[in-house]
Structure 1
Amino acid sequence: MDFDAVLLPPRRARMLAQGLWHERTINDDLQACLQACPDKLALTAVRVEAGDTRAFTYRELARMADRVAVGLSRLGVGRNDVVACQLPNWWQFTVTYLACSRIGAVMSPLMHIFRERELSFMLKHGQAKVMIVPKSFRGFDFEAMLAGLKPSLPDLQRVVVVDGQGPDSFEALLSGPAWEQEPDAQQVLTGSRPGPDDVTQLIYTSGTTGEPKGVMHSANTVMANIIPYAQRLQLDAEDVVLMASPMAHQTGFMYGLMMPIMLKASAVLQDIWAPHKAIELIRAHQVSFTMASTPFLTDLAKTVAESGQGVPTLRTFLCAGAPIPGALVEQARAALGAKIVSAWGMTENGAVTLTKLDDEDERSFSTDGCPLPGVELKVVDADDRSLPPGQPGRLLLRACSNFGGYLQRPHLNGTDAEDWFDTGDLARIDERGYVRITGRSKDVIIRGGENIPVVEIESLLYRHPAIAMAAIVAYPDERLGERACAVVVPRPGQQIELAQIQAFLKSQKVAIQYVPERLIVRETLPSTPSGKIQKFKLREMLRDGLA
């Protein structure tokens, strides 16, 4: 794959001069762990449904990474080849990324909720050479799905199945044979090591263009975020990080996979969110930090309060993905005893703003934090003129962690000659520099931290024979923040029900989380004179209960 990370070279000299890029890769950090604490517990991976646990010291983790790296090379994977990984928070996810980093391959983490429609685009667009999936997870057969997709993906040479049987299993191809002891292993492991500016991650984000965009990150861009993030939260080698948020999101990838290794800390992975299990893990492993979206915080605080099982070692819970209600901060503080930190970020940058540990609690529900070191923010009007504190407008950022660009979509990079990136969000900044996201100029619904690609779902609805017009808008939800509502105008003589829409979209093989959970049928939709649907009016009607 030829990566067009065009946003990296122009700012390299400035980032190095300012000390914001650190010129190291995850290989360097794993080697530092091997030298300083080889027998320290590095990773504990818990599979909730399967009921099993696998633990690795740093020595064992590095050995397995070497083994899988040589195994990948035996499958033809080399420098700049893409290895797609659609795994839950299992140890194989962590090891696969470390293995790719050994041989200069690029990992493309894919959410386990994706189905044929999303995967067919992402795997083809990223030219994935190898795809790693579970045999099954939460009752779904991933192996069968990929068997059906593979003939339409000319670049995909091999599908590797975790818990599979026979020659295509992860165990047979990658983690079983002692590849690291083969005569050519050291040459394989050292001959194609990536540099800090090489693309290390290709991660897809849902947007408003009707198709996902492939975000390219280098070691320099992700580490430029993780280091100040950990410093602001006062995290170090003594911490234990629980990660139940998916590692196919930046939350899990950067702060559950990479950060613990960079800190020489320990990580605990939980593959299915179950608050009772999270409490058990926090108590058993003395977890001190976790990061997740608002529903996780709600569930954990409620379950701790109801069960009486406290989590005394949990020092900090960072909550992002949706505004935190003030009542929830109070409840969580009382139940958990942990500091609740609010944050805002993007796939393209990682966490951008965080509240501080010594901030008053009110800041966590009235703001989304202030910028990390290396991040500049400004709010501008429609003509790109900076607005004074407190005035809402378009949010632009200039950050050391800004991505390298969208793969094969440089015209969508949204970054000007001075490196200002248009976030697509609306915000205001107060006199102290704290940000509040007030809305989105882009048409995205965020359901429990997961972006719903509105344009794509709408385009599918227009194919339904009973629908003349359709719009997808958000409606508020106490637990998930937002859910999706379909507002449709039927064709003459036709009737439409929610179950029909849901069945139709499922037949189109979209992720179940993208399917609308509410339906409103109307005779007309509010529109501009040019015919553009006025979604703000639909949202207002939903909010006011008039629909």
Structure 2
Amino acid sequence: MEFDAVLLPPRRARMVAQGLWHDRTINDALDACVAQCPDKLALSAYRVETGTVTRFTYREMAQMADRIAVGLHRLGVRQNDTVACQLPNWWQFTLTYLACSRIGAVMNPLMHIFREHELNFMLQHGEAKLLIVPQVFRGFDHAHMATGLQAHLPHLQQVVVVGGGGPDSFEALLTTPEWEKEPDAPAILTAHRPGPDDITQVIYTSGTTGEPKGVMHSANTVVANILPYAQRLGLGAQDVVLMASPMAHQTGFMYGLLMPILLQASAVLQDIWDAKKAVEVIQAEGATFTMASTPFLSDLTKTVAEAQASIPTLRTFLCAGAPIPSALVERARQVLPTKIISAWGMTENGAVTLIQPDDDDERAFNTDGCPLPGVEIKVVDVDGNALPPDQPGKLLLRACSNFGGYLKRAHLNGTDADDWFDTGDLARIDARGYLRITGRSKDVIIRGGENIPVVEIESLLYRHPAIALAAIVAYPDERLGERACAVVVPKPGQSIDLPGIVEFLKAQKVALQYIPERLVVRDDLPSTPSGKIQKFRLREMMRNSAL
């Protein structure tokens, strides 16, 4: 497959000259781990439902990565082929990515909550050649869904099932045969290793266009973010990184999968978020750092307080995805031995701003931090003029970690000739250079760190036989930050209720997290003279409980 990462070549010379691109791939990092600390514990993967844990040293991890890589080659996967992976935080996710990197294949992480509606588009658009899914996860039969999708996807040649037990299982095809010992294995493992500017990941993000966009990253763009991120937080080889945020999100992928290997640290994966289990894991593994959205911090604080538990090793909790309530920071600091770090970022860049570890706690709930090295931010007015401190406007950024572009959507890249990227967010920057996100010009609701593709769900609602007009807006929620409310106008003589909407969207195979959790029925919707719905007025009404 051809990857049109047009944003990379124009800035390569400048990024290298400034020391911001390191020309280092995950293969280089893993090889260094094997050479320097082969018997160090690299990965511990906890499965909550089964109560099992699987561990790898760096030597064992590299061997298994090689084995899976040759197995993928046996299945026809070649350089620049897309391997889609819809797995929770299981060791197979980490090892599959490392295996893809050995042979130059491109990983497409997919959230395990996605169903037919989302997957059909992503697998088709990304031209996935192979899809890896769990047999069953949290009671859902992913294998059945995947095989049903395959019939309609001409590029998808193979579905591989983790835990399937059959001839097409992950185990039978990739991890049981000792592929790395085959005579042709050395050639397979060295012939097509990717360079630092080759695309290594395509990950989909929701936007305002009505369909997800495939964000393309290279080794240079992700490493350029991870190293200064770790440096600011004081992370190194001595750390144990707990990752319960999905690795199919950039948070889990960059800081739970890639970062520990780059630092020669240890990673601990938890596949289902359960705060009580997380306390046990932190205690057992000596976890020192984690990153997750606000609900995770709230749950962990509550659990530790109620159980009077002790997690003395957890030095840092980086919280991103939604603003952190001041009361939560204060409570967490009383209960946990942990510094709370606020941050803001995007799939297109990774973390962009973080507070400093020695900042006062109030900066964690009053700001989203200041830029990492290699990142510039500015707030501009509608004409593109830079605004003074504390004046809200449109947020632009210029970063060494900026992505390579949107797959097959170069016209949406949003990056000008000077490399300024339009984030689609509204923000202000204070006199000390600290950012605060004040709103979103792009029409996305963030529910517990998960973006809800508003335009896409609205389009589906318009297919409902009883709905004439529909708009989805956010309403505040103490735990998740935001939830989605559907505001609808019924067709004459028709009626609609929330259970009806839920069942309708379920029938469209929409992810449960994307389905509105509140319904408001109105006679009309506020609109412009041209008929465009004024969502800002609906949001104001929602905040004032006037709907």
Q: TM-score range by the shorter chain?
A: over 0.9
Q: Which residue of 2 aligns with 1:496?
A: 496
Alignment match, 2:381: 381
1:191 paired residue number: 191
Aligned pairs for 1:300-311 (under 5 A) are 300-311=300-311
Give runs of aligned pairs for residues 297-446 of structure 1, distance below 5 A: 297-446=297-446
1:147 Cα deviation after fit? 1.2
Residue 223 of structure 1 corresponds to: 223
Cα pair 1:525 1:533 within 8 Å, conserved: yes
In 2, the alpha carbon distance for the partners of 1:444 and 1:428 equals 19
TM-aligned CA deviation for residue 20 of structure 1:
0.1
Query: In structure 2, the residue corresponding to 1:34 is in which secondary structure?
Result: helix
- The one-letter code sitting in structure 2 at the alignment partner of 1:75 is L
- Partner residue, 2:30: 30
Corresponding letter in the other structure for 1:290 = T
For residues 265-276 of structure 1, the aligned pairs below 5 Å read: 265-276=265-276
Return the offset for 1:545: 1.0
Task: Name segments (4+ residues, structure 1) moved above 6 Å.
Answer: none
Distance, in Å, in 2 between the alignment partners of 1:208 and 1:52 is 41
By how many angstroms is 1:68 displaced? Answer: 0.1
Residues 475 and 483 of structure 1 are in contact (CA less than 8 Å); yes or no, is this contact kept in structure 2?
A: yes
The equivalences for 1:75-154 within 5 A come to 75-154=75-154
**What residue in structure 1 maps to residue 61 of structure 2?**
61
Residue 102 of structure 2 aligns to which amino acid in structure 1?
A: R
Distance 1:148 1:91 in 2: 26
Which amino acid is 1:480 matched to? L
Instruction: Tell me which amino acid in the other structure corresponds to 2:536.
Output: F
Check whether the contact 1:298–1:479 (CA below 8 A) recurs between aligned residues. yes
Q: Which residue of 2 aligns with 1:467?
A: 467
Q: Paired residues, what number?
A: 547
Q: Report deviation, 1:165.
A: 2.1
- Residues 175-216 of structure 1 show CA distances to partners (whole Å, capped at 9, x for unaligned) of 110000000000000000000000000000011100000000
The Cα RMSD (Å) is 0.4
**Secondary structure in structure 1 of the residue aligned to 2:129:** strand
Alpha-carbon separation, structure 1, partners of 2:486 and 2:451: 16
* In 2, Cα distance between equivalents of 1:165 and 1:281: 29
What TM-score do you get using the length of structure 1 for normalisation?
1.00
Aligned to 1:456: 456
Give me the TM-score of the superposition, normalised by structure 2: 1.00
Q: Where does residue 521 of structure 1 map in the other structure?
A: 521
- What residue number does 2:71 align with? 71
CA distance in 2, matches of 1:16, 1:261: 22
Q: Does 2:261 match 1:264?
A: no
Q: What's the offset of the Cα at 1:534? A: 0.6
Q: Secondary structure at the match of 2:492?
A: coil
What pairs up with 1:279-298 in 2 under 5 angstroms? Answer: 279-298=279-298
Asked whether 1:484 is paired with 2:484, we answer: yes
Which amino acid in the other structure matches residue 43 of structure 1?
Answer: L
Structure 2 match to 1:539 = 539
* TM-superposition CA deviations, 1:345-379 (whole Å, max 9, x none): 00000000000001000000000000000000000
Once residues 401 and 537 of structure 1 are traced to their aligned partners in structure 2, the CA distance between those partners, rounded to angstroms, is: 36
Report if the CA contact (8 A) 1:310-1:335 is conserved.
Answer: no
Show the counterpart of 2:2.
2
Contact 1:392/1:428 (8 A) holds in 2:
yes
Query: Deviation of residue 93 (structure 1)?
Result: 0.2
Query: Residues 324-359 of structure 1, C-alpha deviation per residue, up to 9 Å, x if partnerless?
Result: 000100111111110000000000000000000010
3-state secondary structure, aligned to 2:167: helix
Q: How many Å apart are 1:401 and its aligned residue?
A: 0.1
Residue 506 of structure 2 is aligned to residue 506 of structure 1: yes
Pairwise CA distance, 1:166: 1.3
What one-letter code is carried by the residue in structure 2 that aligns with 1:177?
P
State how far apart, in whole Å, the 1-side matches of 2:26 and 2:240 are. Answer: 19
